[in-house]
Amino acid sequence: MSSIDADPTAAWLSREELDSARERLPILYVHAVPVRVDHSGTVTEVGLLLRASADGAINRELVAGRVLYHERIRDALLRHIEKDLGPMALPRIPASPMPFTVAEHFPTPGVTAYVDPRQHSVSLAYVVPVAGDCAPQQDALDLAWLAPHDALDTSLQREMTGGHGVLLRQAMAHLGHAV
Q: What is the pTM of this model?
A: 0.87
Q: Which domains does the chain have, with CATH numbers?
A: 19-174 (3.90.79.10)
Contacts made by residues 36-43, CB under 8 angstroms, sequence distance 24+: 36/129, 36/130, 36/145, 37/129, 43/127, 43/148, 43/175, 43/177
Element (H, E) at 146: strand 140-146
pLDDT, tens digit, 9 for 90 and up, residues 78-126 = 999 999 999 999 999 988 999 999 999 999 999 999 998 888 999 999 9
pLDDT, tens digit, 9 for 90 and up, residues 134-162 = 999 888 899 999 999 999 999 998 899 88
Q: Which residues contact 134 (CB under 8 A, 6 or more apart)?
A: 34, 47, 85, 86, 88, 89, 143
CB 30 within 8 A of CB 65: yes
Neighbouring-strand partners of residue 87:
none
Residue 30 is predicted with a pLDDT of 98
pLDDT band for position 6 (50/70/90)?
A: low
Say how far apart CA 54 and CA 157 lie, in whole Å: 20
Say how far apart CA 84 and CA 131 lie, in whole Å: 15
Residue 9 is predicted with a pLDDT of 58
CB 112 within 8 A of CB 122: no
Amino acid at 123: S
